[in-house]
């Protein structure tokens, strides 16, 4: 029970520091609000340019779009999988000390998210090798 209390205290302390940091950033954000629409348009153009870059690189619109999607999945899978691994570790090492089913659930979560992380990191490489190496 003490481990859970320590974890909750650390979590609450981390959440308490977020508003302090946001106050320092708030003044900066006020000046940037006027540029929000132009920033959104710039982001949309950057995304379109990225897809066009992949299309030129792979020689096909379908391959370019697929490569872009795989790259986005590769980038966003890292924090998602690390959070899943941390949750699995909490189940296995904190809750699993008292209950065996929680320990097995945590181990399964760790294995699942580790496998998902490896697959999402290697899949774009395999796609690039297959399309560029054996493609048209």
Q: What is the pLDDT of residues 2-54, one digit of tens each?
A: 666 666 566 555 555 555 445 445 555 555 555 566 666 666 676 667 888 88
Q: Evaluate whether 103 touches 124 at the Cβ level (below 8 Å).
A: no
Residue with the larger pLDDT of the pair 59 and 21: 59
The pLDDT of 111-131, averaged and rounded, is: 93
Cβ contacts of 113 within 8 Å, gap of 6 or more: 81, 82, 84, 85, 88
pLDDT exceeds 70 at position 114: yes
pLDDT, residue 40, reads: 61
For the chain, give the mean pLDDT: 79
Distance CA 25, CA 115 (A): 37
List of residues 6+ apart from 15 with CB closer than 8 A: none
pTM over 0.85: no
Determine whether 91 is exposed, middle or buried from the number of CB atoms within 10 Å of its CB (0-12, 13-18, 19+). buried
Q: What is the total count of domains within the chain?
A: 1
Name the token pair of 100. 């065996």
How much is the pLDDT for 21? 47
Cα separation, 106 vs 38, whole angstroms: 45
Q: Tokens standing for 64?
A: 């370019």
Q: Which comes out higher in pLDDT, residue 116 or 35?
A: 116
Do 69 and 58 meet the contact criterion of CB atoms below 8 Å apart?
A: no
Of 66 and 9, the one with more pLDDT: 66
Total length of the chain:
136
Q: What is the mean pLDDT of residues 82-94?
A: 93
Query: Chain centroid to CA 133: how far?
Result: 29
The answer to whether 121 and 82 have CB atoms below 8 angstroms apart is no
| Residue 105 domain boundaries | 2-134
Interatomic CA distance for residues 26 and 119, integer angstroms: 39
């Amino acid at each position: 029970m003490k481990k859970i209390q320590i974890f909750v205290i650390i979590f609450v302390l981390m959440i308490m520091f977020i508003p302090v940091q946001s106050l320092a950033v708030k003044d900066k954000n006020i000046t940037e609000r006027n540029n929000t629409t132009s920033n959104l348009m710039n982001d949309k153009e950057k995304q379109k340019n990225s897809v066009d870059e992949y299309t030129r690189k792979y020689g096909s619109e379908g391959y370019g779009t697929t490569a872009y999607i795989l790259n986005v999945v590769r980038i966003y899978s890292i924090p998602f999988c690390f959070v899943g691994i941390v949750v699995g570790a909490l189940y296995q090492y904190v809750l699993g000390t008292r209950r065996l089913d929680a320990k097995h659930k945590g181990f399964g979560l760790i294995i699942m998210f580790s496998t998902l992380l490896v697959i999402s990191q290697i899949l774009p490489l395999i796609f690039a090798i297959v399309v560029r190496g054996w493609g048209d």
